[in-house]
Amino acid sequence: MVGITSYGGYIPRYRLNRMVIVQNMAWYFPVIMAVAGGEKAVANWDEDSVSMAVAAAYDCMAGKDRKGLDGLYFASTTMPFADRLNAGIVAAALNMRENGVNNADYSSCMKSGTTAAIAALEAVKAGTKKNVLVVASDQRRTKMATMFEMFYGDGAAALLFGNKDVIAEFKGSYSINCDFVDHYRGHDKEFDYGYEERWVRDVGYGKIIPEAITGFLAKTKMKIEDFSKVIYPCYFSGTHSAIAQKLGIDKARAQNNLHSVCGDTGAAHPLLLLAAALEEASPGDKLLVASFGQGCDVLAFEVTDKIKDLKPRIGVKGSLANRVELTNYQKFTKFRELITADLGIRGEANPNTSLTLLWRRRKMLLGLVGVRCRKCGTPQYPIYPTCVNPTCWSVNDFEDYEFSDKEAKILMFTGDMLAASVDPPAVYGLISFEGGGRTMLDFTDCNLNQLKVGMKAKMSFRRRVTDNMRGFTGYFWKAVPQVEGGGE
């Protein structure tokens, strides 16, 4: 049996109510008032498609062996590197093994996530791989006061495909590939260029998705009534309903497109919607998922009894519950680098990243891998040649020890208004890991006024530095205090 063995999701905690955009920008483009309902998910200033992919991947791999992965396929239209394997960064953050695996990037199309999923399923079905992780993520920048600004949200989803402990059996796929251009982003362009909306609605979503689903049903001899949930992206609510009506899908069986709570998350959206459906699924349910982008991929799954045994995860539901309302539109535009603000003299430093050091210490820097003393069992991070236990002092007698999935608590912290930060004050401090080990880290996704000594914290893979001169993005881990309540 081949299919999904686990799933995960990640939606950033910040939510921007669309009325906030209207209140700030409707004077310039009043038409946006017509789509002002709901809110969209907004990535923090230190997040991007790679960091969100890591978060979704960790959620998916909860209770699973990351060393057992045979490959990682990363799908996104907003990858930070044009010539560097972005999937390799995600794999390094997961501390995957480097030998005997195949990692790949899937890009340039909104249906790249489902295309990667089909490739993973075919590899498992052929027997060349046993466990392949597919992660899709997007963080699309938009011009201010545009429909895209209203529609687009940020997020990521991950699906693990394998042939053991399958929670949703793969039942087949069908694809249409055609060069229908509803929007595009040219080389070296910052923003998408979109064509006339009626064209996108009526000829794009309204015809291509029904054609692909009809083709799948004809190929497999299945009926639309067989499916408990039919999943497809379309942020035009009227068109979303019209597609269901055209295909004979009952309203209760058309998966909510989540537009009102997070927006369209690009290449991640079909997989994010599928993850949301799996959270509510019962054994025997059949799920049909379709994507959209220069054609359409359609995949079908049947949920098995194994879904009852899957370890609980944060998922889409948990991410949506972990929300903080972003009421400051100017902060949002700065997070997206849509406005220019002075970081001061301290922000002028532009050190060249040492690629040799990054290579030699890739496990420590990207995987947050420290060591544990073989003699006394003391964990430590960062790595030193001598055990930090004052009763041991063993030298170079260590084994690798992962800190990325360990819970921690805050020992001390400060808010620094003088440090260069997009979101001042810069908050950092000393944390102690459960099971041993302590280190200094930047804090993120928190309000300084909410922090307390002893508060629990989790690790999160984030953008640490952006070298605009050389086009390099550096990543490291930060601490996310588990604060109660909201607040920017």
Q: How far apart are CA 439 and CA 465, in angstroms?
A: 19
Topology annotation, domain 353-368+403-481: OB fold (Dihydrolipoamide Acetyltransferase, E2P) (2.40.50)
Percentage of the chain surpassing pLDDT 70?
Answer: 99
What is the Cα–Cα distance from 30 to 377, expressed in whole angstroms?
A: 64
HEC string of the chain equals: CCEEEEEEEECCCEEEEHHHHHHHHCCCCHHHHHHCCCEEEECCCCCCHHHHHHHHHHHHCCCCCHHHCCEEEEECCCCCCCCCCHHHHHHHHCCCCCCCCEEEEECCCCCHHHHHHHHHHHHHHHCCCCEEEEEEEECCCCCCCCHHHHHECCEEEEEEEECCCCCEEEEEEEEEECCCCCEECCCCCCCCEECCHHHHHHHHHHHHHHHHHHHHHHHHCCCHHHCCEEECCCCCHHHHHHHHHHHCCCHHHECCCCCCCCCECHHHHHHHHHHHHHHHCCCCCEEEEECCCCEEEEEEEEECHHHHHCCCCCHHHHHHHCCEECCCHHHHHHHCCCCCCCCCHHHHCCCCCCHHHHHHCHHHHHCCEEEEECCCCCEECCCCCECCCCCCCCECCEEEEECCCCCEEEEEEEEECCCCCCCCCEEEEEEEECCCCEEEEEECCCCHHHCCCCCEEEEEEEEEEEECCCCEEEEEEEEEECCCCCCC
Residue 132 CA to residue 161 CA, distance in Å, equals 5
Name residues whose C-beta falls within 8 Å of residue 219's C-beta, 6 or more positions apart in sequence: 172, 174
Higher pLDDT, 421 or 126: 126
Tokens for 410, please give them. Answer: 């805050």
Q: What is the pLDDT of residue 486?
A: 53
Best CA proximity match to 486, nearest among 450, 435, 461: 450
Residue 65: CB partners within 8 Å, gap ≥ 6?
none
Read off the pLDDT of each residue in 154-163 and give the average, rounded to a whole number.
Answer: 98
pLDDT, tens digit (0-9, with 9 covering 90-100), for 9-39: 999 999 999 999 999 999 999 999 999 999 9
Please compute, for residue 142, the number of CA atoms within 13 A of its CA located in the half-sphere on the CB side. 22
pLDDT per position as a tens digit, 411-454: 999 999 988 889 999 999 999 999 999 999 999 999 999 999 99
pLDDT digits (tens, 9 = 90+) for 275-308: 999 999 999 999 999 999 999 999 999 999 999 9
pLDDT of 316 > 90? The answer is yes
Is the pTM above the cut of 0.85? yes
- pLDDT for 378: 97
pLDDT of residue 343: 81
Q: Which residue has the higher pLDDT, 468 or 462?
A: 462
Average pLDDT over residues 462-478: 93
Question: How much is the pLDDT for 475?
Answer: 97
d(CA 190, CA 184): 11
Position 82 pLDDT exceeds 90: yes
pLDDT band, very low/low/confident/very high, at 380 (cuts 50, 70, 90): very high
- State the pLDDT at residue 488: 63
| C-beta of residue 299 within 8 angstroms of C-beta of residue 461 | no
User: Residue 472 — pLDDT band, cuts 50, 70, 90?
Assistant: very high
Domain boundaries of the chain, sorted by first residue:
3-335, 353-368+403-481
For CA atoms 53, 59, 60, 63, the dihedral sign is positive
Q: Sorting pLDDT into bands at 50, 70 and 90, what band is 485?
A: low
- Token readout for 352 is 């060249």
User: pLDDT at position 487, please?
Assistant: 53
CATH code: domain 3-335 is 3.40.47.10
| Pick from 102-106, 459-463, 468-472: least confident | 468-472
pLDDT of residue 483: 87
pLDDT at residue 350 in the model = 75
pLDDT digits (tens, 9 = 90+) for 178-205: 999 999 999 989 999 999 999 999 999 9
What lies within 8 Å, CB to CB, of 428 at 6+ separation is: 413, 414, 416, 440, 441, 442, 443
- Predicted confidence at residue 416, as pLDDT, reads 95
pLDDT at 272 over 90: yes
Strands 426-433 and 39-42: unpaired
How far apart (Å, rounded) are the C-alpha atoms in residues 125 and 127? 5
Which pLDDT score is estimated for 323?
95
Nearest to 427 by CA among 441, 437, 409: 441
Residue 341, pLDDT score: 85
The whole-chain average pLDDT of the chain stands at 96
